[in-house]
Each structure stands twice: as C-alpha cells, then as structure tokens.
A = this chain, B = another copy of it.
Amino acid sequence: MKHVIGFDLGGTKMLACLLDEKLTILERSKTKVGDTSKSEAVFGRVVDCIQSLLKSSKVPKDSIEGVGIAIPGPIDLKSGYVLETPNLGFKQFPLRDRLADELKLPVVLENDVNAGLFGEFDLGVAKGLTNVIGLFPGTGIGGAIIIDGKLYRGATGGAGEIGHMIVQIDGRLCGCGQYGCLEALASKTALAKDAAGLAVNGGSPTIARLAGGDISKMKSSVFGKALNAKEPQVERLVERAAWMLGIGMANCVNIFNPEAIVLGGGLVARFGDEYIKIATKSMQEHAMPFLAKDVKVLRAKLGDDAAAIGAGALFRLTRVAA
C-alpha cells in the first residue's frame, strides 16, 4: 500500500499521476477536459483518465491506496460535493462518492490551488515556511493560504478565493458574475478577450492565424508563439496582466504580511521569470513599503504537476489522520 494517485482537474486539461511513497511521479495519464456544458460528460472523462492510468500501470493494483483529486473550485469537505465551478459546469456534484464507486478506491477531494500550494509546501519552494500565500494564474486565478504551517480553509472550507477579490470596482466581467475581480483582469481568460480584439484588429498576426477572434481557442501556447514572434501589442498585453497580478499580490502582502508568495499555474509556466519579475515589481510598487520589503516571491517548482502531487500528499495526510 505504498502508491497513491494524484489527480488534477484543470480548466482545460486533466492529469492523473501515479505517485510512489516519496510522491515521485511514476506514470501519467493526461486528457483534455473538452466540452464543459454537461457535468456528467466531464465526470466520465475523469473516470476514463484515471482508469486508463490504472490499466497501463506496472505497479500491482492492490498497492494503490487511493486517489486525491484536485478540483478548480470550492468543495464541501464533509459531503465530498463539488459546490460550484464557474469554469467547469459542476454544481452540487457528489464527485467524491461517485468516483469512489466507479474506481473501487477511497477518494479525497481538495481545492486544486490548496493542493498545488500544499505540494510546494511539502516538496517544493515553500518547504519550511510558516505563512505563505499561493496564487496560480491560469484559466482562472486560484488562491491558497498556509498559516502557521497548515492549509487555512476558513469557517466552511471555502477560504482562499483570492482570484475573486475585487480590485477594480465596475471593472471587467468575471466568470463568477461579478465585475473587476483579479481573475477578470489577469487570468488567461482575461488575456484571451483582449487577444481576440488584437486578432480581429490586426494587432497580432500570430494570434489571428492560430485562433482568430475566438477566445475559446486562445491556449497559452498561442500567446507563447506571439511572444516568440515579438509582437509588441501581445508583449504589452502579457506585461499588463502581470502588472495586474502584482496588484493582487500587493493586496495579499498588505492583508497577510506573509513570508512568501508562491506563483504557479499555467501563465507562470508559460511566461516564466520575466512575467514574475513584472508582477513582483508591481507588487512592490503597490504594497505598503514596510511589508513589501521582506516578502519573497517564489516560482512554484513542481510546475503543472504541483496540484496532482499535492492532492496525492493530502490524500495520504487525510487518510493517516483519519
């Protein structure tokens, strides 16, 4: 009983990892999330992705303890329900028990950003720290909080929705229905909307060619290619998103006075250190100087694997505690 499966359900892809006792990834299975209009169809693809890993796996089936699932939205830890995921179509969905039935394995759910930050805290850049904030800009912007060395979940398990902090009253529409959330200004979804404008108006030949004006086709690789082509308007768009992220980081610094902010997620993986540098400069310019001067900004080092690894780690922690 040494192995666990860590699973990360992202906004656009899902990843299942078979992990050994040290949380090293032995095998992977990766699928697109696809059409998110029907939660049953998404659920079916989650089951298929994990079954495919189990089938191809070389380790004995009975050495697999269970599955930790990272979910991009709020969950109810007691009931195992996924409450509401604006980007995925789940609403009051009994994912934990439905999955356990299908897989015949115990399942633990965790918010994906909690899982990602916990992975970094357990094995990665935040190892040994005490008070840490995680921000994971991708399709949305996830937030997670570690206080006194523990995941902080709040009164009903829903803490950490830092991406839905309003930073621009009456600003751009967010996927959650509010206006001016950090996520509405600095996520890939926010970038996609402006990129569609650039594509249509001739501001980015690369984006016009690869995605046209269709925001559903704006993968982060599309931005990567436009940046490689040194298209100035796309460079400016990405810089501006980093700058906006830095304002959200500054708010976190003023509120939490953390030792470190960990940045991860799809945009960090794609845009790298230059993006982090701009976000950090913006944070330093917008936070109170006596708080900004000591905070570290750390790049998540487990990359796209962080949430799957963290979910596996949290499965084990939860099962040991239970």
Copies in the complex: 2
The CB with the most chain B CB atoms within 10 A, among A83, A130, A154, A178, is that of A154
Neighbour of A257 across the interface among B156, B168, B247, CB < 8 A: B156
A191 to chain B, nearest CB (A): 17
Stretch at the interface among A194-202, A226-234, A283-291, A300-308: A283-291
Tell me whether A158 and B291 are in contact (CB under 8 A): yes
Which residues from B are CB-within-8-Å of A154? 131, 256-258, 291
From 134 to 151 in chain A, residues with beta carbon under 8 angstroms from any chain B beta carbon are 143, 145, 147-148
Query: Which of A84, A167, A250, A258 has the largest count of B CB atoms less than 10 A from its CB?
Result: A167
Q: Are A167 and B164 in contact (CB under 8 A)?
A: no
Which residues of A84-130 are within 8 A (CB) of B?
A: 84, 130
* B288 engages A158 (CB within 8 Å): yes
**Is the CB of A65 closer than 8 A to any CB of chain B?**
no
B247 touches A156 (CB 8 A): no
- Given contacts A165-B254, A257-B154, A257-B157, whether A83 and B290 have CB atoms under 8 Å apart is yes
Interface residues on A, range: 35 or more
In the complex where A130-B155, A148-B148, A155-B130 touch, is A255 in contact with B160 (Cβ < 8 A)?
yes
- Given A143-B255, A154-B256: 8 more A-B contacts, CB < 8 Å: A84-B290, A155-B259, A156-B294, A158-B257, A158-B290, A159-B257, A169-B171, A176-B288
In the assembled complex, 28 residue pairs joining A and B whose CB atoms fall closer than 8 Å, in A order, are: A74-B290, A74-B291, A83-B290, A131-B154, A131-B155, A143-B255, A147-B147, A147-B152, A154-B258, A155-B259, A155-B294, A156-B291, A156-B294, A159-B255, A159-B256, A161-B254, A161-B255, A162-B255, A164-B254, A165-B165, A165-B251, A165-B254, A166-B286, A167-B167, A167-B168, A168-B169, A169-B244, A176-B288
